[in-house]
Amino acid sequence: MTEQRKDILDMLAAGKITAEEAEQLIAALERDQAPATASHDARSKGKVKYLRVVVDATDNGEPSRVNVRVPLQLLRAGVRLAALVPPQALVKANASLSDSGVPIDLTQLKPEQLEALVEHLDEVTVEVDSPDATVRVFCE
Amino acid sequence: MPQLVTVKVNRPDRRPVRVWVPVLPLVLVLFPVVVLVVLAAIVACVVFRIGVVLALGAAWRVISALPGARFDIEQGRTAVLVAIR
């Protein structure tokens, strides 16, 4: 229950407004909330389609550039594929990662968490500037 | 499903190479190989106790999501571009 809806019900319980007025206020509240929710859904689902990685660097005096565009749908599909990796393979991967100094427990990483991460990538922009290189990761 | 893969390679002192690969005709030509690969994948799924249908479905999702991917790498006068449409 939203705060505004609770306020309306409190006013009704306190006798400050009638039941009809409360109904009208709740209806108006729902009308206001519906377009806002729809526009948020459109932004998060419709417009952003690609993850871009752009690297501009100078390597031994020569300019180098990496420009990668990956569909977000591909990331989602990859998450689903990664969810099929058998547990015994994850245990071996954990051991190798631990030996390499990266103590991450991959068995604790759930596909739902990864999907949520991909869903919210559209709000992420990473920019790294150094004298030799510039890295930009963003969605478009 | 991807329709066309474009590969461009520019190297210094050599002619640039540009290849357009139509995926569907290539898959049809290599159909026997594709069947063998799918069979090998099914056997691997059975051996590692992975759901065959789930695995094939996930692989198909990955293939279907490929259009739009683009990898462009340049270093000096050398450049490689792979674009999937």
Per-residue H/E/C for chain B: CCCEEEEEEECCCCCCEEEEEEHHHHHHHCHHHHHHHHHHHHHHHHHCCCCHHHHHHHHHHHHHCCCCCEEEEEECCEEEEEEEC
Count of positions (residues) in chain B: 85
Beta carbons of A67 and B73 less than 8 Å apart: yes
Tens digits of per-residue pLDDT, A4-43?
A: 777 778 878 888 777 877 777 777 777 666 544 444 444 4
* Residues in contact with A75: Cβ distance below 8 Å, sequence separation at least 6, in sequence order: A51, A118, A121
Q: What is residue A33's predicted lDDT score, i.e. its pLDDT?
A: 61
Q: Which amino acid is at A61?
A: G
Does residue B47 belong to the interface with chain A, where contact is any CB pair within 8 Å? no
- Give the length of chain A: 140
Query: Given a cut of 60, is residue A2 above it in pLDDT?
Result: yes
Q: How many other CB atoms sit within 10 Å of the CB of residue A51?
A: 21
Contacting residues of A for B6, CB less than 8 Å apart: none
Q: Would you tell me which residues 2-41 of chain B have a C-beta closer than 8 angstroms to some C-beta of chain A?
A: none
Q: What ipTM goes with this model?
A: 0.82
Q: Per the confidence metrics, is the pTM higher than 0.80?
A: no
Q: Are A90 and A107 in contact (CB under 8 A)?
A: yes
User: In the A/B pair of chains, how many CB contacts fall below 8 A?
Assistant: 66
pLDDT of amino acid A38: 44
Cβ neighbours of B68 in A, within 8 Å: 49-50, 69, 71
The contacts found for A67-71 with CB under 8 angstroms, 24 or more apart, are: A67/B70, A67/B71, A67/B72, A67/B73, A68/B70, A68/B71, A68/B72, A69/B68, A69/B69, A69/B70, A69/B71, A70/B69, A71/B65, A71/B66, A71/B67, A71/B68, A71/B69
